[in-house]
Amino acid sequence: MNENLRKKLPIIEHTKVWLSISLILIIIAVGAILVRGLNYGIDFIGGSVVTIDLHQTFDTKDIKQITDSFDKSADITYTGKQKHEVVISTKVSLTNRQQKRLFSKFQKKYHLDQKDLVSVENITASVGNETSRNTIIASIVAVVLMLIYITIRFEFYFGLSAVLALVHDIVIVIGVYALFQIQVNSPFIAAILTILGYSINDTIVVFDRIRENEGLLGISTEAELDNLVDVSITQTMRRSINTVATTLVAIVALYIFAVDAIRDFALPLIVGIASGCYSSIFVASPLWVIFQKKSARSKFNSKSQKNRNRQRTKRRHVEKIEV
């Protein structure tokens, strides 16, 4: 036997440990969602976006002193090549009068002209509801298409295991949004879809190796099934960890050095990609083994039942002849 087929880590025998860790993380995530809720941004619940050219760099604390009287949860960012334009996003839809009052305070503090009010945009709640609906539809469609693709390329239990691992990752990421009260805005959609794609790619690599090794090792007992998956995971684990590590280096750098808006996008990505790597190795593959064993036992029990039924039929037939 090839030496690489002998080397393995005892992954499957500790399935209860891996799934217990995942269950604990999911309980924490769901608890955070239920207790703290999601901090929806204006992309989902509506509000106003005001852009003002201050002609100078600014401190967010100074801007907050002005905006707190209108919306204490207002999000402050900047735009422009020189970072002189402040972008104020409020969850409250500002009336024309409130917009004028807000800008007048900036005029007094920063000595601005009327032309320095770059833009004012109101986002209605109906637009936010449409965004929420589109996000849910996009995620569901992506998951269903992945299930269909994996079922066609591999088999149904591979697809089911992969989808459950994806649900595991998404619940944990949404829990991070709730736990740290990160605003759920348009970047949330990008983060979720990015994590879905990254996680499923890692899972398919492991499943592809399982299918490849199945032809080499063969499966006739449950012990051989465990061995097959342990060997396959061991062969792909280094690749998975190295890929995740190099990706996380770039995202962590973004989180450390970027502005707050980028950090709010980077943190869920860090958690999601790490969770995706974990679920590909310690969730999806063990789940596939569980499904395979249950399916095999079900087929065995079905055959046993058919044999028993045949035996009963034969006995009845013999009894009738004797009578």
Q: Is the pLDDT of residue 20 over 90?
A: yes
Measuring CA to CA, which residue among 206, 216, 218 is closest to residue 243? 206
Measuring CA to CA, which residue among 2, 5, 18 is closest to residue 290? 18
DSSP alpha helix (H) spans, the chain: 15-36, 42-45, 60-67, 96-110, 125-153, 156-179, 186-217, 222-257, 260-279, 285-322
Q: Is the pLDDT of residue 43 over 80?
A: no
Residue 246 near residue 257 (C-beta atoms within 8 A): no
The model's confidence at residue 72, banded by pLDDT at 50, 70 and 90, is: confident
* Amino acid making up residue 93: S
Residue 200 near residue 162 (C-beta atoms within 8 A): yes
Residue 312 confidence (pLDDT): 55
Residue 318 confidence (pLDDT): 47
Find all residues with CB under 8 Å of 74, minimum gap 6, and list them: 64, 67, 68, 88, 89, 90, 91
The model's confidence at residue 128, banded by pLDDT at 50, 70 and 90, is: low
Q: Count Cβ atoms below 10 Å from residue 7 Cβ, excluding itself.
A: 11
Measuring CA to CA, which residue among 121, 163, 171 is closest to residue 141? 163
Residue 304 confidence (pLDDT): 45
Q: Is the pLDDT of residue 271 over 50?
A: yes
Q: pTM value?
A: 0.79
Annotate 98-120 with DSSP letters as a single string. Answer: HHHHHHHHHHHHHT--GGGEEEE
In this prediction, residues 106-121 reach a mean pLDDT of 90
Q: Is the pLDDT of residue 14 over 60?
A: yes
Find all residues with CB under 8 Å of 319, minimum gap 6, and list them: none
Measuring CA to CA, which residue among 151, 166, 173, 159 is closest to residue 197? 166
Residue 316 confidence (pLDDT): 54
Residue 298 confidence (pLDDT): 59
Highest mean pLDDT range out of 31-45, 175-189, 277-291?
277-291
Q: Is the pLDDT of residue 13 over 60?
A: yes
Can you read off the two tokens belonging to residue 98?
Answer: 């409130």
Annotate 13-36 with DSSP letters as a single string. Answer: GGHHHHHHHHHHHHHHHHHHHHHH
In this prediction, residues 279-290 reach a mean pLDDT of 93
Between these two residues, 184 and 318, which has the higher pLDDT value? 184
Residue 4 confidence (pLDDT): 53
Between these two residues, 57 and 44, which has the higher pLDDT value? 57
In this prediction, residues 13-22 reach a mean pLDDT of 94
Q: Which domains does the chain have, with CATH numbers?
A: 16-39+127-297 (1.20.1640.10), 47-123 (3.30.70)
Backbone Cα Rg of the chain: 28
Could you tell me the maximum CA-CA distance found in the chain, to the nearest angstrom?
113
Query: 196-246 pLDDT, tens per residue?
Result: 888 888 899 999 999 888 877 767 788 888 889 999 999 999 888 898 899
Residue 285 confidence (pLDDT): 93
Residue 303 confidence (pLDDT): 45
Find all residues with CB under 8 Å of 129, minimum gap 6, and list them: 44
The model's confidence at residue 322, banded by pLDDT at 50, 70 and 90, is: low
In this prediction, residues 67-95 reach a mean pLDDT of 86
Residue 310 confidence (pLDDT): 54
Whole-number percent of the chain with pLDDT over 70: 87
